[in-house]
Structures are given as C-alpha cells and as structure tokens.
Amino acid sequence: MSNQENLLEVKNLRKYFKVGDGGLFGAKRSYLKAVDGVSFNIKKGETLGLVGESGCGKSTTGRTIVRLYDATGGEVNFDGTDLTKVPERDLLPFRKRIQMIFQDPYASLNGRMTVTDIIGEGITTHGIYHGAERQERIFDLLNRVGLKREHANRYPHEFSGGQRQRIGIARALAVEPDLVICDEPISALDVSIQAQVVNMLEDLQDDMGLTYLFIAHDLSMVKHISDRIGVMYLGMLAETAESEELYRNPIHPYTKALLSAIPVPDPKLTRQNKRIVLKGDVPSPIDPPEGCRFASRCPLASDKCRQVTPHLTDRGAGHMVACHNA
C-alpha cells in the first residue's frame, strides 16, 4: 500500500496560547501549552491514528498543521515544504492539498448553502472543474460517499447526522487532496453508523490514494483504520507504534490505561488485563511543571519523572515510548 516516502513530517511542533493579560506591571504572562513538542511522520497512503483524552491537544495539532493556527515552534514538512514558513499569500495550493473533516458536521456546514454549493465551493476556489464538468464531479462525489443525485439541491438540515458527515467528506475530497485530517469524524455519530463511515473512509483512501491523520479520543475505533498510532497526553506524545504492535504490546502506563478502558464486546471473553482506573484528573495545560506530564496520575512515577521530561525513545522496530520507568 505504501512506499517509504513520508508525505508529512511533523517535528517538535508547539502551539502555545496566551492566557490572561499578563497582569499589571509586567507580571509573568501565562501560556496554555496545547501542543508541546510533538513529532511524527506519515507515509504516503498511510493512516496515522492520533488518540488521547479530550483537551490533550489533538485538534490543535491538526489545526496547526493546516495553518488554521500559526505554530509557536517546530516544523510541518509537507511533501518537502515546511508549511510553518510559507507566507499566507502562498498557502492556497497547500490548502487544496490538505483538507480537514470535522467532528460536528452540522456546525461545519453552512446551513444556507445547498449540498451542491457546499461541495462545489472548493472546486470553484481552486478552479478544478467548470460548468457541466463541475456538476458531474459533484454527482460523482455524492455517489462515492453514498448519497444520491437528488440530494444535490437540499440543505444540511434535511439530512441525518451520518449523511451530513458524508457531505463534509465529499466537500473535503472535492478538491482532490493528498492529505486529509479527520478530526474525530465519527465521535458525534450513532454507534450503529460509526463503522459504516470508517469503512467508507478506508474505501475512499484506497480509491483516491489518500493519506490520513485520523484523530479519535479513544482506542476502540482507530485500530482497524490506522497503520500507526500515536497516543497523546497533555500536549505531548506518550507512545507511537504500528497499530497491531501498540495493541499487543503497550508499554507506556497511559496507553495501558486507555487500552484497558475499551469495552470487551463479548461478555464471555474476559480481558487479559483488568481495567486500570487512573487516579486524579488531567492537570492543567497552563504553565505545566517540568517533568513528565503524566507523573501526577502514573502508577510508576518516581522523583525523576517529576523533574525530567521523558522524550520518545525507540524500543525496537519503531515502537517509541516517552517514559523513564516502563
């Protein structure tokens, strides 16, 4: 399926948000470190799953890659170009090549536009097809995402949640992108249609040669679609590995806890490891202390963990773990 070429190389990516006004008399300004040194690669035609609890920085990572946010630091090398250094006026070709699919298809679709206008907007902006060809292209896209010609002149409110997400997917694919950032595309959908949409995304990937960054908040849905998975905690990656390897041999205590939380589908099967319930809450990402971000909840934490930030190290065959003690 893939060659060895990386389409995307994210290096030490950081995105800090300023919070508060810094106070009077030059008091120290606070930073919310939403993404704090994230590195990963995605090969052409592959899918990287990015997983972690709500608030850990997944969407900010995606939005910084597509330049909805300017990075605080680091690199986003897309097909050889560092997007963090491209001036705004030169971004249009990259805005065509990298598309996003959002969690809430209702909020992300303009309710006053017809399906044809929504899907066709990017085709027009990028001048890909015109006139009758453009309309044929829109019908073709509707067909590819499991909708019908007669849906073309309807408005988003006339569709179910799953159908709206299909419209969002057609809109993203209309401009023939190379990379699609899928930001929790199934989290808002009924469980019964989640698998349908994932299967459709996989078929579209094969047909159109797409590369995916697939964001999810738990590990239950990403195994099947992902070639590799990155587990994020509070702005940093805790562990990355090939999908099978991550499920078979999780090393980071946070990954183990996330895996233990996946419901076992068949009640007659008992899981090998019992559920690990983490103590405490996710700490604040505002001015986080030195050391491992997970230390306050970690069963293995030692003094070193509270002082020295662990970085990803290779534990063999590209299985990377950021932990002093595991």
Q: Is 243 in the site for ligand ADP (CB under 6 A)?
A: no
Q: Tell me which of ligand ADP, Mg ion, none is bound by residue 288, counting a contact when its beta carbon lies within the kind-specific cut-off of 5 to 8 angstroms.
A: none
Shortest distance (Å) from residue 12 CB to ligand ADP: 17
Shortest distance (Å) from residue 56 CB to Mg ion: 9
Q: Tell me which of ligand ADP, Mg ion, none is bound by residue 55, counting a contact when its beta carbon lies within the kind-specific cut-off of 5 to 8 angstroms.
A: ligand ADP
Joined together, the tokens standing for residue 176 give 């023939």
Residue 114 Cα distances to 84, 105, 138, angstroms? 34, 14, 12
**Cβ distance to Mg ion smaller for residue 59 or 240:** 59
Q: Is 32 in the site for ligand ADP (CB under 6 A)?
A: yes
**10, 38 contact by CB (below 8 A):** yes
Q: How far apart are CA 313 and CA 303, in angstroms?
A: 20
In degrees rounded to 5, what are phi and psi of residue 107? -65, -30
Q: Is residue 160 helix, strand or coil?
A: coil
Q: How far apart are CA 227 and CA 205, in angstroms?
A: 13
**Cβ distance to Mg ion smaller for residue 59 or 72:** 59
Q: Which of residues 280-309 bind ligand ADP (CB under 6 A)?
A: 285
Bridge partners of residue 314, in order along the sequence: 320
Q: How far apart are CA 215 and CA 218, in angstroms?
A: 9
**238, 313 contact by CB (below 8 A):** no
Shortest distance (Å) from residue 59 CB to ligand ADP: 3
Q: Is 162 in the site for ligand ADP (CB under 6 A)?
A: no
**Cβ distance to ligand ADP smaller for residue 70 or 266:** 70
x-or-dash string of contact with ligand ADP, 44-63, rule CB under 6 A: --------x-xxxxxxx---
Q: For the chain, report the end-to-end CA distance as a whole number of angstroms.
A: 33
Shortest distance (Å) from residue 279 CB to ligand ADP: 20
**64, 13 contact by CB (below 8 A):** yes
Joined together, the tokens standing for residue 205 give 């990937």
Q: Tell me which of Mg ion, ligand ADP, none is bound by residue 34, counting a contact when its beta carbon lies within the kind-specific cut-off of 5 to 8 angstroms.
A: ligand ADP
Beta-sheet strands, E only, within 79-197: 81-82, 98-101, 179-183
**Cβ distance to ligand ADP smaller for residue 6 or 59:** 59
Q: Which of residues 50-79 bind Mg ion (CB under 5 A)?
A: 59
Q: Which residues neighbour 16 within 8 Å (Cβ) at sequence distance 6 or greater?
A: 31, 32, 33, 34, 36, 72
Shortest distance (Å) from residue 59 CB to Mg ion: 3
**Cβ distance to ligand ADP smaller for residue 34 or 123:** 34
**Cβ distance to ligand ADP smaller for residue 55 or 161:** 55
Q: Tell me which of Mg ion, ligand ADP, none is bound by residue 177, counting a contact when its beta carbon lies within the kind-specific cut-off of 5 to 8 angstroms.
A: none
Shortest distance (Å) from residue 64 CB to Mg ion: 12
Give residue 106's identity as a one-letter amino acid code: Y
Shortest distance (Å) from residue 111 CB to Mg ion: 22
Q: What one-character DSSP code corresponds to residue 286? A: B
- Interface residues toward Mg ion, by CB under 5 A: 59
- Interface residues toward ligand ADP, by CB under 6 A: 17, 32, 34, 52, 54-60, 285
